[in-house]
Amino acid sequence: MGVLTYRRTILLALAIALIGGGVAYWYLHQGGASSLAPPLVIQSDGKNAPIGMIWVPGGEFLMGSDHKKAQDNEKPVHRVKVNGFWMDRTHITNDQFAQFIKETNYKTTAEQIPDWETIRVQLPPGTPRPPTSVFVAGAMVFVGTKAKVNLNDYSQWWAYVPGANWRHPSGPRSNIDGKGNHPVVQISYEDALAYAKWTGKRLPTEAEWEFAARGGLNQASYAWGDQLEQEGKLPANIWDVKKQPFPVISPKAGGAVGTSSVETFPQNGYGLYDMTGNAWQWVADWYRSDYFAMQSKELGDGVANNPQGPTNSYDPDDSGVPKNAPKRVIRGGSFLCNEDYCQSYRPSARRGADPFSPMSHLGFRLVKDPQ
């Protein structure tokens, strides 16, 4: 090893030790290869942030993807910088959310009778108000199919189920007994905000979320690298089409699917679990399908510094819904994502969702700014 190379290696090691990997991240990511920064997992001791949070060092990264699997809303790749922040090591769990309910008596969106004004904005203009009798508390539930179907109509495997809520994710006959360490689901954006206020935390921005999800990997296809499987196994809770065709949940096909305990699969480079797979996660930003294109046009080769997202929503790809209907970004995919239909377990994948529409595969995690 030459003197200069040796010195550079020593300086890199010192940088990692002194500043939590920030310089190391920059050093290792200039070349464009999918390299993992040396792991430096910093867990909160309860003084600077609540126990159960992980320090994400922040830095500059390439956001989005130009990969062949990327959707138009993930393009183009553009430069973004985020400050360091604390992030929950896992999704918020059923046990954690139950404590919130116990102390606040909060009533979630799914437990309330739907409000016409919040529904109306998601429908084509002029849609008449339905009779009051149809307004029943409940939520969207994955019900699956009994046989293989054409995948162009998701209404075949989703249904609004009265009585579905965080305690009963699939309907009144379901429960979360023995699932205290599973992600809480059937949570609306408004519910996530209420929980965040109670804890003194906040939802991550979309940029913060993607930076954290990549775990130090530069433009890797997945949160764990460039190959979907590791040693022949899926390293996240996603739908395995080799075992069961999507969206079939008949007993012959292997039964129902759902969330798994939050620390079942390996953590990423920052020590975060389930950043992709298991359950979708709300983030703070409004959703525009063209937001990355807007940023790239505005900045050129410049860097977006701690972007907070657009000021409104725009989604021309959701048929039957007004293009400007209110939507917030969801990230990470879920146990339903698979190679045949939804590949949103990629860290750059993004979608918009009605902030008042909880679903049986949608939860959240929070972040906290350093003191």
CB 358 within 8 A of CB 139: yes
Residue 231, pLDDT score: 86
Taking residues 126-136, what's their average pLDDT? 94
> How far is it between the farthest Cα atoms of the chain?
80
Strands 78-82 and 303-305, how do they pair? Answer: parallel
Question: What is the pLDDT, as a whole number, of residue 122?
Answer: 96
Neighbouring residues of 273: CB distance < 8 A, sequence distance ≥ 6: 89, 90, 91, 262, 263, 265, 267
CA dihedral sign of residues 14, 15, 20, 24? negative
Quote the distance between the C-alpha of residue 93 and its chain's center.
14
Across the range 351-367, mean pLDDT stands at 97
pLDDT at 128: 95
Coil, strand or helix at 251: helix
148 pLDDT above the threshold of 70: yes
E strands present in the chain: 53-56, 59-63, 78-82, 85-88, 138-142, 158-162, 280-286, 303-305, 328-331, 350-353, 362-363, 367-368
**Span of 182-186, 200-204, 247-251, 277-281 with lowest mean pLDDT:** 247-251
pTM: 0.88
pLDDT reading at 78 higher than 60? yes
Provide the CA 238 distance to its chain's centre, in angstroms. Answer: 13
Higher pLDDT, 71 or 15: 71
Distance between CA atoms of 256 and 248, rounded to whole angstroms? 8
Nearest Cα to 250, choosing from 335, 146, 336?
A: 146
User: How many whole angstroms from its chain centre is CA 322?
Assistant: 24
Distance CA 342, CA 358 (A): 19
**Integer Cα distance of 188 and 313 in angstroms:** 17
Q: How far apart are CA 248 and CA 266, in angstroms?
A: 27
Measured N-to-C along each axis, helices 94-104 and 189-199 cross at an angle, to the nearest 10 degrees, of 70
pLDDT of residue 17: 35
Closest CA to 358 of 77, 42, 16, 97: 97
Residues 6+ apart with CB under 8 A from 5: none
Query: Residue type for 91, please?
Result: H
Within 10 angstroms of residue 277's Cβ, the number of other Cβ atoms is 27
Distance of alpha carbon 198 from the chain centroid? 21
